[in-house]
Structure 1
Amino acid sequence: MSEFLSDADFTRFRDLIYNESGIHFSESNRTILESRLKERLKAEKIETVGQYFSHVRSDQEELKVLLDAVTTNLTRFFRNAAHWQTFENYVLPDLVKYKREKGDRKFRVWSAGCSTGEEPYTIAMQLLDLLPPGFDIEILASDLSLKSVLTGQQGFYPDSRVTGIPEKPLAKYFDKKDGGYQVKDSIKKLVTFDYHNLKHDSGKRNLDVVFCRNVLIYFDEPAQKVVVDRFWNAMANHSFLFIGHSESLFGMKTQFSFLKTDWACIYAKDV
């Protein structure tokens, strides 16, 4: 047992974080929670874990900071090439055909768990490059980490963070600045960033595509089911869901259909 974090304290924080966000800490990743708590106690100049627990319970802003601290924001532009190939070669042609038949000229996409913005900006670049003229683009990007959301809103990325972007879109959609690259307004205006906890309904409806990659792994099965059902309710009758390549809805009672394309496996809603 850790001298810093007793079993009782671990249970209290584990349950608090789960109840507030759906993020599940097991014994195997207890050390991650412990290191994040040490950082917050130091930052707040609080001496004991018990005092910090009382502080978090009485201060909603500090609770948000804690939830931010325990999330892992690992991302990059064009992450998982197979998904972008599926998006380009299967999802977009299918949706363009369907929308033309319905007379719908708006593409609505949600990047849920968008981290620092690389994913929604990749979506924006893809849509601008691949959609035929006459379609409006609306991209919602949300995350539990307010710090990450603010980074995405700013749209500035150091040189090391743009290595995954091909040369042509990098020149087309970014301006070179000292030490990095700034997303151009032509891309920024398509993306709306928002702080959002997936435990709650986003209020969005009729979404054509939802990206929620490498987020469900932080939830236990009941919380995963809640999130996936919320996606179903938010999505249009003919739409597509992307989750992480190591994630699956297998064994979950869900209304989504499993879809195996030539490039990657995704999920579809078609009612």
Structure 2
Amino acid sequence: MSRASRGLTPEQVAALAPACDAPVFDVEVFRAVGAFVVRNLFPAETVAAWQAAWAEFQANTLAARKVGFNKVAVEEPLPPVLATMYESPEHRAVARAMFGPDVGLYNHRFVIKDQFSRDPVFLHQDYCYHLGFPEKASFFTPLSVCGRENGGLEFFLGTHQYGYLGDAGEIDPEAFPAWPSILPELNPGDLVVMDSSTWHRSGPHLGGPDRILADTIIQPASDPSTVAMVCGENGPVNRIDRSAAAGLFKRSRTTRMKELTAELSRLQGGSD
């Protein structure tokens, strides 16, 4: 994804917004606005197989799922059919259009709004939470209808042009010009592609079915944070040990925050 093309104003991005929702993926529109909705990309039989695997997984494993800090993220190991969704010919074709013949996997998970996670998710970008280089994108693959009522995703087009904002957390849109946003109504068979620097959020689940989305993060295979190949053969020469990511720094903002939190807890405990 070339950064050279990212010089559009909010008004220019708004003019392009209708073109980012279509039956055929347009990589140039995607690069310009930072998100793209591909309609009816996957064959019905492929979607049916994914949905059947999800229904079994939900009934057998997720009825009492483990809810972590990120309540929408499914932490339980996925069954093989769901764990390898990104290997579909349709996913691979879009991935090649973005990054060429060699595409790597950064992460694959599900983000859902179910009985354990009805709350909204604040406005944020994903790149600030990642390792490796910024050339990353998410594939959001819905296995349910996803829209405003059941906590669908809203994308702020053009915001990927800012890149990394220097920190991680809830973005204040009032600190920036007003960028156009879309909240697409998705059906199983659709695909949303999002630049990892694009701002996005989701509203509360107010009704309707659980919102079920696979979230697959892809990147050029040469990125050292690649964990598997989506397509191609030329993976990274050097790799980051993702399992040891928490220990990459001797000192950092994160370790300092942990130290300060521990010190605060000690002082509060001493004053009782």
Give the TM-score normalised by structure 1. Answer: 0.28
Higher relative contact order (CA 8 A, sep 6+): 2
Kindly indicate which of the two structures has a greater share of residues assigned to helix. 1
Please report the TM-score for the alignment, with normalisation by the length of structure 2: 0.28
